[in-house]
Amino acid sequence: MSDTAESFHGHAHHAAPAPEGVTVRHDWSLAEVRALYQLPLLDLVHKAQTVHRQVFVENKVQLCSLLSIKTGGCPEDCAYCPQAARYKTGVKAEKLMAVPEVLAAATQARQAGATRFCMGAAWREVKDGPQFDSVLEMVRGVRALGMEACATLGMLSESQAKRLREAGLSAYNHNLDTSPEHYGDIISTRTYDDRLNTLNRVRDAGISVCCGGIIGMGESVDDRCNLLRTLANQEVHPESVPINALVPVEGTPLAEQHRIETVDMVRTIATARLLMPQAMVRLSAGRMQMNEEAQLLCMLAGANSLFFGEKLLTTGNPEYTQDMALLEKAGIRPLEPRQDR
Protein backbone atom coordinates (compact mmCIF):
# COMPACT_ATOMS: atom_id res chain seq x y z
CA MET A 1 0.00 0.00 0.00
CA SER A 2 1.05 3.63 -0.51
CA ASP A 3 1.58 6.34 2.10
CA THR A 4 -2.16 7.04 2.35
CA ALA A 5 -2.27 6.89 6.13
CA GLU A 6 0.44 9.52 6.48
CA SER A 7 -0.51 11.76 3.57
CA PHE A 8 -4.28 12.16 3.77
CA HIS A 9 -5.55 14.82 6.13
CA GLY A 10 -9.31 14.77 5.63
CA HIS A 11 -12.03 14.27 8.21
CA ALA A 12 -12.82 10.89 6.70
CA HIS A 13 -9.55 9.15 7.43
CA HIS A 14 -8.75 7.34 10.65
CA ALA A 15 -5.11 6.32 10.56
CA ALA A 16 -5.06 5.57 14.31
CA PRO A 17 -5.89 2.07 15.55
CA ALA A 18 -9.54 1.42 16.30
CA PRO A 19 -10.62 2.16 19.88
CA GLU A 20 -10.50 -0.67 22.40
CA GLY A 21 -13.46 -2.98 21.93
CA VAL A 22 -13.97 -2.08 18.25
CA THR A 23 -12.90 -4.82 15.87
CA VAL A 24 -11.89 -4.04 12.29
CA ARG A 25 -12.18 -7.10 10.05
CA HIS A 26 -11.60 -7.88 6.39
CA ASP A 27 -12.80 -11.48 6.28
CA TRP A 28 -16.58 -11.31 6.55
CA SER A 29 -18.69 -14.14 5.18
CA LEU A 30 -22.03 -13.51 3.51
CA ALA A 31 -23.78 -15.47 6.26
CA GLU A 32 -22.24 -13.23 8.95
CA VAL A 33 -23.26 -10.05 7.15
CA ARG A 34 -26.78 -11.35 6.56
CA ALA A 35 -27.08 -12.26 10.25
CA LEU A 36 -26.28 -8.67 11.21
CA TYR A 37 -28.57 -7.16 8.59
CA GLN A 38 -31.51 -9.30 9.71
CA LEU A 39 -31.21 -8.63 13.44
CA PRO A 40 -34.31 -7.13 15.05
CA LEU A 41 -34.14 -3.51 13.92
CA LEU A 42 -33.78 -1.89 17.35
CA ASP A 43 -31.04 -4.36 18.31
CA LEU A 44 -29.20 -3.66 15.05
CA VAL A 45 -29.44 0.12 15.50
CA HIS A 46 -28.28 -0.17 19.13
CA LYS A 47 -25.23 -2.21 18.12
CA ALA A 48 -24.39 0.21 15.31
CA GLN A 49 -24.84 3.31 17.48
CA THR A 50 -22.67 1.78 20.22
CA VAL A 51 -19.81 1.20 17.77
CA HIS A 52 -20.35 4.57 16.15
CA ARG A 53 -20.01 6.46 19.44
CA GLN A 54 -16.89 4.51 20.37
CA VAL A 55 -15.19 5.65 17.16
CA PHE A 56 -16.76 9.08 16.57
CA VAL A 57 -16.81 10.38 20.12
CA GLU A 58 -17.97 13.91 19.25
CA ASN A 59 -20.80 12.50 17.11
CA LYS A 60 -20.74 15.37 14.62
CA VAL A 61 -22.02 15.24 11.05
CA GLN A 62 -19.94 16.24 8.05
CA LEU A 63 -21.71 18.41 5.49
CA CYS A 64 -20.76 17.75 1.87
CA SER A 65 -21.74 19.58 -1.28
CA LEU A 66 -21.86 17.87 -4.67
CA LEU A 67 -21.70 19.72 -7.97
CA SER A 68 -22.18 18.23 -11.44
CA ILE A 69 -19.31 19.86 -13.32
CA LYS A 70 -20.11 18.00 -16.55
CA THR A 71 -23.72 16.87 -16.94
CA GLY A 72 -25.29 14.35 -19.32
CA GLY A 73 -24.18 12.63 -22.50
CA CYS A 74 -22.57 9.66 -20.75
CA PRO A 75 -22.02 6.58 -23.02
CA GLU A 76 -22.61 4.11 -20.18
CA ASP A 77 -25.89 2.21 -19.73
CA CYS A 78 -26.28 2.34 -15.92
CA ALA A 79 -29.97 1.52 -15.52
CA TYR A 80 -30.50 4.04 -12.71
CA CYS A 81 -28.80 7.04 -14.30
CA PRO A 82 -30.62 9.91 -16.06
CA GLN A 83 -27.29 11.12 -17.45
CA ALA A 84 -26.91 8.16 -19.82
CA ALA A 85 -27.14 9.45 -23.40
CA ARG A 86 -29.19 6.45 -24.53
CA TYR A 87 -32.12 7.22 -22.20
CA LYS A 88 -34.67 9.95 -22.82
CA THR A 89 -34.83 11.60 -19.42
CA GLY A 90 -34.78 15.28 -20.27
CA VAL A 91 -31.17 15.66 -19.07
CA LYS A 92 -29.24 17.53 -21.76
CA ALA A 93 -25.55 17.02 -22.40
CA GLU A 94 -23.55 20.03 -21.26
CA LYS A 95 -19.94 21.09 -21.54
CA LEU A 96 -17.49 20.96 -18.63
CA MET A 97 -18.03 23.96 -16.38
CA ALA A 98 -15.41 26.69 -16.30
CA VAL A 99 -12.97 26.65 -13.39
CA PRO A 100 -14.04 30.04 -11.93
CA GLU A 101 -17.68 28.94 -11.96
CA VAL A 102 -16.86 25.74 -10.06
CA LEU A 103 -14.73 27.57 -7.50
CA ALA A 104 -17.49 30.13 -6.95
CA ALA A 105 -19.86 27.25 -6.14
CA ALA A 106 -17.26 25.74 -3.81
CA THR A 107 -16.85 29.06 -2.01
CA GLN A 108 -20.60 29.31 -1.54
CA ALA A 109 -20.72 25.73 -0.22
CA ARG A 110 -17.95 26.45 2.28
CA GLN A 111 -19.73 29.54 3.52
CA ALA A 112 -22.82 27.37 4.05
CA GLY A 113 -20.84 24.95 6.22
CA ALA A 114 -19.61 22.26 3.83
CA THR A 115 -16.20 20.82 4.62
CA ARG A 116 -16.08 18.55 1.56
CA PHE A 117 -16.76 19.64 -2.02
CA CYS A 118 -17.42 16.88 -4.54
CA MET A 119 -17.19 17.33 -8.30
CA GLY A 120 -18.93 14.87 -10.60
CA ALA A 121 -18.46 14.51 -14.36
CA ALA A 122 -20.61 12.25 -16.54
CA TRP A 123 -17.70 10.48 -18.19
CA ARG A 124 -17.07 6.78 -18.72
CA GLU A 125 -13.39 7.43 -18.14
CA VAL A 126 -11.01 10.32 -17.78
CA LYS A 127 -9.22 11.43 -20.94
CA ASP A 128 -5.97 13.35 -20.79
CA GLY A 129 -6.06 16.82 -22.25
CA PRO A 130 -7.44 20.30 -21.54
CA GLN A 131 -10.56 19.04 -19.73
CA PHE A 132 -8.58 16.92 -17.28
CA ASP A 133 -6.16 19.82 -16.79
CA SER A 134 -9.17 21.98 -15.87
CA VAL A 135 -10.31 19.40 -13.32
CA LEU A 136 -6.84 19.44 -11.75
CA GLU A 137 -7.10 23.22 -11.49
CA MET A 138 -10.51 22.86 -9.83
CA VAL A 139 -9.04 20.44 -7.28
CA ARG A 140 -6.22 22.82 -6.45
CA GLY A 141 -8.71 25.67 -6.07
CA VAL A 142 -11.02 23.73 -3.75
CA ARG A 143 -8.12 22.71 -1.52
CA ALA A 144 -6.94 26.33 -1.41
CA LEU A 145 -10.35 27.17 0.11
CA GLY A 146 -9.60 24.86 3.04
CA MET A 147 -11.99 22.11 1.99
CA GLU A 148 -11.65 18.43 1.19
CA ALA A 149 -11.80 17.95 -2.57
CA CYS A 150 -13.55 14.85 -3.91
CA ALA A 151 -14.09 13.91 -7.55
CA THR A 152 -16.03 11.27 -9.45
CA LEU A 153 -14.95 11.15 -13.08
CA GLY A 154 -15.29 7.52 -14.11
CA MET A 155 -12.39 5.15 -14.64
CA LEU A 156 -8.83 6.35 -14.07
CA SER A 157 -5.40 5.27 -15.25
CA GLU A 158 -2.48 5.06 -12.80
CA SER A 159 -0.93 8.27 -14.12
CA GLN A 160 -4.23 10.15 -13.86
CA ALA A 161 -4.70 9.03 -10.27
CA LYS A 162 -1.19 10.23 -9.45
CA ARG A 163 -1.81 13.61 -11.08
CA LEU A 164 -5.01 14.03 -9.09
CA ARG A 165 -3.10 13.22 -5.91
CA GLU A 166 -0.40 15.73 -6.79
CA ALA A 167 -3.11 18.36 -7.32
CA GLY A 168 -4.28 17.68 -3.77
CA LEU A 169 -7.37 15.51 -4.31
CA SER A 170 -8.55 14.30 -0.92
CA ALA A 171 -10.89 11.53 -2.08
CA TYR A 172 -12.11 9.81 -5.21
CA ASN A 173 -15.65 8.48 -5.47
CA HIS A 174 -16.21 5.35 -7.53
CA ASN A 175 -19.18 3.32 -6.33
CA LEU A 176 -19.57 -0.42 -6.79
CA ASP A 177 -23.33 0.24 -7.02
CA THR A 178 -24.50 -3.29 -6.14
CA SER A 179 -23.30 -6.84 -5.58
CA PRO A 180 -21.15 -8.67 -8.14
CA GLU A 181 -24.09 -11.03 -8.77
CA HIS A 182 -26.65 -8.29 -9.47
CA TYR A 183 -24.28 -5.97 -11.31
CA GLY A 184 -24.92 -7.42 -14.77
CA ASP A 185 -28.62 -6.59 -14.44
CA ILE A 186 -27.78 -2.92 -13.90
CA ILE A 187 -24.76 -2.17 -16.11
CA SER A 188 -23.26 -3.85 -19.17
CA THR A 189 -20.82 -1.21 -20.42
CA ARG A 190 -18.33 -1.57 -17.55
CA THR A 191 -17.39 -4.66 -15.55
CA TYR A 192 -17.19 -5.08 -11.81
CA ASP A 193 -13.45 -5.66 -12.16
CA ASP A 194 -13.16 -2.33 -14.00
CA ARG A 195 -14.56 -0.65 -10.91
CA LEU A 196 -12.31 -2.56 -8.53
CA ASN A 197 -9.26 -1.78 -10.66
CA THR A 198 -10.01 1.93 -10.51
CA LEU A 199 -10.35 1.72 -6.73
CA ASN A 200 -6.95 0.02 -6.55
CA ARG A 201 -5.36 2.78 -8.63
CA VAL A 202 -6.91 5.42 -6.39
CA ARG A 203 -5.63 3.65 -3.28
CA ASP A 204 -2.16 3.11 -4.72
CA ALA A 205 -1.91 6.81 -5.60
CA GLY A 206 -2.50 7.72 -1.95
CA ILE A 207 -6.00 9.13 -2.40
CA SER A 208 -8.77 8.38 0.08
CA VAL A 209 -11.41 6.01 -1.31
CA CYS A 210 -15.11 6.94 -1.37
CA CYS A 211 -17.09 3.89 -2.40
CA GLY A 212 -20.61 2.70 -1.69
CA GLY A 213 -23.71 1.71 -3.57
CA ILE A 214 -27.38 2.10 -4.33
CA ILE A 215 -30.22 0.13 -2.79
CA GLY A 216 -33.69 -0.26 -4.21
CA MET A 217 -32.65 -1.42 -7.69
CA GLY A 218 -34.48 -4.75 -7.48
CA GLU A 219 -31.67 -6.47 -5.63
CA SER A 220 -32.16 -9.19 -3.01
CA VAL A 221 -31.16 -8.93 0.64
CA ASP A 222 -28.18 -11.15 -0.19
CA ASP A 223 -27.17 -8.72 -2.96
CA ARG A 224 -27.33 -5.85 -0.50
CA CYS A 225 -25.27 -7.78 2.03
CA ASN A 226 -22.77 -8.91 -0.58
CA LEU A 227 -22.19 -5.31 -1.68
CA LEU A 228 -21.35 -4.37 1.92
CA ARG A 229 -19.25 -7.51 2.31
CA THR A 230 -17.25 -6.66 -0.83
CA LEU A 231 -16.54 -3.18 0.54
CA ALA A 232 -15.65 -4.43 4.03
CA ASN A 233 -13.33 -7.16 2.74
CA GLN A 234 -11.11 -4.70 0.87
CA GLU A 235 -7.53 -4.70 2.14
CA VAL A 236 -8.22 -1.20 3.46
CA HIS A 237 -11.78 -0.15 4.16
CA PRO A 238 -13.09 2.80 2.14
CA GLU A 239 -12.72 5.91 4.26
CA SER A 240 -16.07 7.07 2.92
CA VAL A 241 -19.13 4.88 2.21
CA PRO A 242 -22.09 6.64 0.54
CA ILE A 243 -25.38 4.78 0.87
CA ASN A 244 -27.83 5.85 -1.82
CA ALA A 245 -31.51 5.04 -2.20
CA LEU A 246 -32.59 4.75 -5.82
CA VAL A 247 -34.42 7.80 -7.11
CA PRO A 248 -36.44 6.36 -10.01
CA VAL A 249 -36.26 8.67 -13.03
CA GLU A 250 -38.70 8.52 -15.93
CA GLY A 251 -36.96 7.31 -19.05
CA THR A 252 -34.50 5.00 -17.27
CA PRO A 253 -34.97 1.21 -17.11
CA LEU A 254 -35.57 1.46 -13.34
CA ALA A 255 -38.25 4.14 -13.62
CA GLU A 256 -40.96 1.82 -12.27
CA GLN A 257 -39.07 0.60 -9.21
CA HIS A 258 -40.89 1.15 -5.92
CA ARG A 259 -39.26 3.48 -3.44
CA ILE A 260 -37.12 1.68 -0.90
CA GLU A 261 -38.54 1.35 2.61
CA THR A 262 -36.94 3.47 5.31
CA VAL A 263 -36.28 0.34 7.36
CA ASP A 264 -34.19 -1.12 4.53
CA MET A 265 -32.14 2.06 4.32
CA VAL A 266 -31.59 2.04 8.08
CA ARG A 267 -30.57 -1.63 8.05
CA THR A 268 -28.07 -1.00 5.26
CA ILE A 269 -26.51 1.99 7.04
CA ALA A 270 -26.32 0.20 10.39
CA THR A 271 -24.72 -2.87 8.81
CA ALA A 272 -22.21 -0.67 6.97
CA ARG A 273 -21.32 1.00 10.28
CA LEU A 274 -20.70 -2.37 11.96
CA LEU A 275 -18.64 -3.76 9.07
CA MET A 276 -16.59 -0.58 8.53
CA PRO A 277 -16.57 1.12 11.92
CA GLN A 278 -14.07 3.86 11.06
CA ALA A 279 -15.64 4.96 7.76
CA MET A 280 -17.69 8.07 7.20
CA VAL A 281 -21.06 6.57 6.25
CA ARG A 282 -22.78 9.08 4.02
CA LEU A 283 -26.54 9.47 3.71
CA SER A 284 -26.67 10.33 0.02
CA ALA A 285 -29.25 10.18 -2.78
CA GLY A 286 -32.88 9.61 -1.85
CA ARG A 287 -33.13 11.97 1.10
CA MET A 288 -35.84 14.05 -0.58
CA GLN A 289 -38.13 11.03 -0.27
CA MET A 290 -37.43 10.74 3.47
CA ASN A 291 -39.13 12.68 6.23
CA GLU A 292 -37.12 14.17 9.08
CA GLU A 293 -37.68 11.21 11.38
CA ALA A 294 -36.36 8.79 8.75
CA GLN A 295 -33.22 10.87 8.26
CA LEU A 296 -32.61 11.06 12.01
CA LEU A 297 -33.05 7.29 12.30
CA CYS A 298 -30.40 6.86 9.59
CA MET A 299 -28.06 9.07 11.62
CA LEU A 300 -28.84 7.08 14.75
CA ALA A 301 -27.91 3.95 12.79
CA GLY A 302 -24.46 5.34 12.00
CA ALA A 303 -24.68 7.84 9.15
CA ASN A 304 -22.43 10.78 9.96
CA SER A 305 -22.35 12.71 6.73
CA LEU A 306 -24.98 14.46 4.63
CA PHE A 307 -24.91 15.82 1.12
CA PHE A 308 -26.70 19.14 1.10
CA GLY A 309 -27.83 21.52 -1.60
CA GLU A 310 -30.82 21.62 -3.91
CA LYS A 311 -29.42 19.04 -6.33
CA LEU A 312 -27.49 15.80 -6.00
CA LEU A 313 -26.02 15.65 -9.52
CA THR A 314 -29.31 15.59 -11.45
CA THR A 315 -31.86 14.52 -8.83
CA GLY A 316 -33.53 16.60 -6.16
CA ASN A 317 -32.14 16.99 -2.65
CA PRO A 318 -33.55 18.75 0.44
CA GLU A 319 -32.83 22.45 0.47
CA TYR A 320 -30.04 23.82 2.62
CA THR A 321 -32.35 25.66 5.01
CA GLN A 322 -34.32 22.46 5.68
CA ASP A 323 -31.12 20.58 6.46
CA MET A 324 -29.86 23.23 8.86
CA ALA A 325 -33.23 23.39 10.60
CA LEU A 326 -33.27 19.62 11.04
CA LEU A 327 -29.78 19.53 12.53
CA GLU A 328 -30.59 22.42 14.85
CA LYS A 329 -33.82 20.81 16.07
CA ALA A 330 -31.98 17.57 16.75
CA GLY A 331 -29.03 19.29 18.42
CA ILE A 332 -26.60 17.75 15.91
CA ARG A 333 -23.47 19.77 15.29
CA PRO A 334 -21.72 19.80 11.91
CA LEU A 335 -17.99 19.25 11.59
CA GLU A 336 -16.12 22.51 11.33
CA PRO A 337 -13.74 23.21 8.44
CA ARG A 338 -10.23 22.15 9.35
CA GLN A 339 -7.63 24.87 9.65
CA ASP A 340 -4.56 22.85 8.61
CA ARG A 341 -5.21 22.74 4.87
Quote the CA–CA distance of 209 and 212 in Å, as a whole number.
Answer: 10
CB under 8 Å to 95, separation ≥6 — which residues? 70
Catalytic residue among 64, 78, 225, 298: 78
Question: Residues marked as binding?
Answer: 74, 78, 81, 118, 150, 210, 282
Does the annotation count 118 as an active-site position? Answer: yes
Question: Residues marked as binding for [2Fe-2S] cluster?
Answer: 118, 150, 210, 282
Quote the CA–CA distance of 283 and 224 in Å, as a whole number.
Answer: 16
pLDDT at site 219: 96
Q: At 99, is the secondary structure helix, strand, or coil?
A: helix
For residue 212, give the nearest of 258, 281, 308 by alpha carbon. 281
Quote the CA–CA distance of 253 and 233 in Å, as a whole number.
Answer: 31
pLDDT at site 328: 86
For residue 341, give the nearest of 64, 63, 158, 141 by alpha carbon. 141
CB under 8 Å to 223, separation ≥6 — which residues? 178, 179, 181, 182
Catalytic residue among 64, 81, 211, 225: 81
Does the annotation count 225 as an active-site position? Answer: no
| CB-facing half-sphere around the CA of 132: CA atoms within 13 A | 17
pLDDT at site 339: 42
CB under 8 Å to 194, separation ≥6 — which residues? 155
Catalytic residue among 74, 211, 225, 298: 74
pLDDT at site 122: 83
Task: Give the Å distances, CA to CA, from 45 to 28, 80, 138, 265, 269.
Answer: 19, 29, 39, 12, 9
Contact 316, 285 (CB under 8 A): no
Catalytic residue among 190, 201, 210, 211: 210
Phi/psi for 64 (5° steps) reads -120, 145
Quote the CA–CA distance of 102 and 316 in Å, as a whole number.
Answer: 19
C-alpha dihedral sign at 305, 205, 137, 71: negative
Q: How many CB atoms lie within 10 A of CB 23?
A: 8
Q: Which amino acid is at 246?
A: L
pLDDT at site 165: 96
pLDDT at site 90: 74
Catalytic residue among 118, 211, 225, 298: 118
Catalytic residue among 64, 110, 116, 150: 150
Does the annotation count 74 as an active-site position? Answer: yes
Pairing of strands 311-312, 315-316: antiparallel
Q: What is the DSSP letter of 288?
A: G
Does the annotation count 211 as an active-site position? Answer: no
Q: What is the pLDDT along the chain (341 residues), one digit of tens a residue?
A: 333 333 333 444 445 688 888 889 999 999 999 999 999 999 999 999 999 999 998 888 888 888 888 887 788 888 888 888 788 777 777 888 999 999 999 998 888 888 889 998 888 888 889 999 999 999 999 999 999 999 999 999 999 999 999 999 999 999 999 999 999 999 999 899 999 999 999 999 999 999 999 999 999 999 999 999 999 999 999 999 999 999 888 889 998 888 889 999 999 999 999 999 999 998 887 777 788 899 899 999 999 888 775 443 344 445 677 777 888 888 888 877 554 43
